[in-house]
Structure 1
Amino acid sequence: MEGEEMQFHAADGALAESGTSKSNEASLQKKHQAMIGRLSNRHQSRTGGSGGNSTRSAEDDNSVSTAASFATKFSESKRSIHSLIANSSSVDPSALRSHLDGISSSIAALEQLVAESSYSLPSYELRSALKSVAELKQAVENQSAELLPKKKFSFRNKSAATATKFPAAVQPKDPGLPKQQPPVLVIRDSPGLRNAKEVTLTKNFRGLGIGEFTVADLDGCEVRLIGCINALFFNRLRNCRVYTGPVIGSVLIEQVENCVFVLASHQIRIHNAIGCDFYLRVRSRPIIEDCSRVRFAPYCLRYEGIEKELKEAGLGDESGNWANVDDFKWLRAVPSPNWSVLEESQRIECFEINESIDGNENTRTD
């Protein structure tokens, strides 16, 4: 599967080069279609079997389908944008700025597609897509610098200027190309715990069949979540402590400050976190973006039945990835200053949930 993904990206990158011949382009497009076909056939062969497929097989099938769908949309949009950039030199000068603005809008839409798909994409796919978006932005900036007319400098006649003084007209600033804002992770409108202050919130997912769960707009709260769930979303938390059982899919965290998170998941992505500690067990490398003063340590949570649930979720073994953090906004060769490993002397003790939690209600304790 990884080889096919790398083959797809190689073909996609080759198609984007302006010097590629039509015959090579047709050949690469055939390879791309063949790859998508193989993914589809594999998905059909898995889903067409007997009823003995495991939960993990169903999850893998869904991941293959999602990755293939994203790859197709992303590749088509990327080729279209490259074509528009390549044709910029032939656009009428009076329409050039509008043309480049349109390209920037297309790149923004592509960036939003990546953001919305990030929770279900493998780390390699996500890094490759973000790199491609950055390259497209740079290409537009280069075209703008090369093709847009530069302001002409002229000397002003000082005596004429002082002879008659009129109020200076306010010159509008050159808008240039619209600045692209970093994509915001989408927090789902799912069941959850919201809008609370200085209380303890508990939830037991066992037997409820909840796929996604949101924890949002909390201040000074302690959150305890027991049982397995497919996906968790955290948004706008301050001064909170969060303890969760295993997450089969992804955890997305947005806009948190001075919090402690104890999480176990296959994928964890963190955006806009300040001064937070993360105690993780994670299958892939944790991803941070626009974060500062965040620290990481190994998972430390106990409650009755957690070891069995971790094993069933594919998180029974410690991978050590809690210390292998990717900072997507730090592209230099030196380590990112935005995160660090939490020293053992400063780590919290393993937290244990002893109380009985009702799975049908959100229990609040002042």
Structure 2
Amino acid sequence: MADEEDALSSNPNEAPNHSEESRQRKHAALLERLANRHQTRLENSLTRRSADSDSSSSSPSFESTSSFLSRFADSKRSIESRIAQCRLTPTSESTQLKSNLDSISASISDLEKLVAENSYFLPSYEVRSLLKAISDLKQSLESLSSELVPKKKFIFKNKAAKKEKAPIFDSMKEKEPETDKPAKVGFTVPESPGFRNKTGEVLVREFKGSEIGEFTISDLDSCEVRLIGCVRALFAHRLRNCRIFGGPVSASILIEGAEDCVFVIASHQIRIHHVKASDFYLRVRSRPIIEDTTNVRFAPYCLSYEGIDEDLKSAGLNEETGNWAHVDDFGWLRAVQSPNWSILPENDRIGLIKISDPNKGAEKI
């Protein structure tokens, strides 16, 4: 009986203890939930900060593009202002007027070269817009020159044209009958190292160990050009019946005026203007661009010389992209294939060309 009373007397004490333990467990669970919620919020905050950091770190490329476009716009406005100023120059001051037109033409060429060198890093639609703007500048200058300068007195010349031997294309033009069309403002040949005004020669240049950044080949007829090693930029102007074998170019190649030629060249960006009946064997990182060009054919790069693999790798051209077969014709805006270019049939291709020995001719392998 006493034991039962003890048991009954103990129950009132156990109930409060049990209730207290329950409250403590609930309180601990609440604290745990709050701690977990705080940790989750902290992790979300860190994630957002990381995303913001990544976004800000990716902005320099956009800023770089924006900066380039701003610089281009400033240069374009400057050229347009100079063209407008020329219209106010009295025609009696022919010497000053010619000097101003020469200077504007050189500025347009420099701007075009700048776009070519940076086109690989710019969006394709921006490149198209920039090239269209340059084309408009050329047209404006051409119209101005035909209005203000007499036809036979206004001729753009480069330093190479001062030699006793006239450029091959100039001599050809002398034999053609005169027309009433105004003389066009031509491409200004860069004053960089190069081969100029040659006929029927084999021209070899090795760039290994040299500090040549840009190289020019201009006014060549029936010549074979072999360029061994890397350069930053290559310019080709007024070529006829020539074979051009070139190592990798780390930036861009600009070809302005060629006929019945073969080009075996590699570059990040290749632009082809006013070319007829020529074959191109290319390795190129971006799509080749043609303009005012007809009857040209394309095939993959096929050049070999000692050390070419290292040169291709250093120029970032060691991988074949297949872009040689994807040509953009800026003069053909229809959805169907441009009739101005085609893929060179395999049976008509020249095969691998080896130019390792400067003292020997190019060898077909």
TM-score > 0.5 by shorter chain: yes
Residue 241 of structure 1 contacts residue 260 of structure 1 at CA under 8 Å; is this kept in 2?
yes
2:326 to 314, 324, 335: 324
Cα offset, 1:241, TM superposition: 0.4
1:117 aligns with 2:114: yes
Question: Aligned match of 1:72 in 43, 59, 70?
Answer: 70
Which of 335, 339, 342 pairs up with 2:341? Answer: 339
Give 1:83-102 correspondences, 5 Å limit.
none
Q: Is the 8 A contact 2:112 2:134 kept in 1?
A: no
Counterpart secondary structure, 1:121: helix
Matched residue, 1:258: 260
Name the structure, 1 or 2, with higher relative contact order (CA <8 Å, separation 6+).
Answer: 1
What is the CA distance between 1:199 and its match in structure 2? 1.2
Q: For residues 149-186 of structure 1, what are the alpha-carbon distances to aligned partners after superposition, in whole Å with 9 as ceiling and x for unaligned?
A: xxxxxxxxxxxxxxxxxxxxxxxxxxxxxx99998554
Distance in 2, Cα, partners of 1:77 & 1:222? 37
CA distance in 1, matches of 2:230, 2:134: 35
C-alpha contact 1:39 1:68 (8 A) present in aligned 2? no
Q: What does 1:1-366 correspond to in 2, within 5 Å?
A: 39=60, 64=64, 67-75=65-73, 115-122=112-119, 124=124, 125-130=126-131, 185-356=187-358
Contact 1:245–1:264 at 8 Å: present in 2 too?
A: yes
CA RMSD, aligned part only? Answer: 3.9
Call closer, same or farther: CA 1:126–1:181 in 2, change over 3 Å.
farther
Cα distance in 1 between the residues matched to 2:113 and 2:326: 24
**Higher helix share goes to which structure?**
2
Count of equivalent residues: 239
- What is the letter of the counterpart of residue 122 of structure 1? S
In structure 1, how many angstroms separate the alpha carbons of the residues matched to 2:326 and 2:62? 34
> Structure 1 residues 253 and 290 mapped into 2: Cα distance closer, same or farther (>3 Å)?
same
Question: What secondary structure sits across from 1:127 in the alignment?
Answer: helix
**Structure 1: which 5+ runs fail to align?**
1-34, 43-63, 81-97, 99-104, 138-178
**Judging changes above 3 Å, is the alpha-carbon distance between structure 1 residues 116 and 272 closer, same or farther for their aligned structure 2 residues?**
same
State the TM-score, normalized to the length of structure 2: 0.57
Deviations along 1:42-66, one digit per CA (max 9) or x if unpaired, are: 8xxxxxxxxxxxxxxxxxxxxx4xx
The Cα of 1:354 is off from its aligned counterpart by: 3.5
Larger radius of gyration: 2
CA–CA distance in structure 1, aligned partners of residues 209 and 341 of structure 2: 37
**Percent identity of the aligned residues?**
53
CA distance in 2, matches of 1:110, 1:279: 31
Residues 180-239 of structure 1 show CA distances to partners (whole Å, capped at 9, x for unaligned) of 999855431100111111111101000011000111111001111100111111111100
Gaps spanning 5+ residues in structure 2: where?
1-55, 79-87, 89-100, 139-180
The structural deviation recorded for 1:129 is 2.5
Shift of 1:73: 3.7
Residues 345 and 232 of structure 1: is their aligned pair in 2 closer, same or farther, counting only changes over 3 Å? same
After TM superposition, what 4+ stretches of structure 1 lie above 6 angstroms from structure 2? 77-80, 108-113, 132-137, 179-183
Structure 2 CA distance for aligned equivalents of residues 250 and 134 of structure 1? 19
Q: Aligned-pair distance for 1:115?
A: 2.7
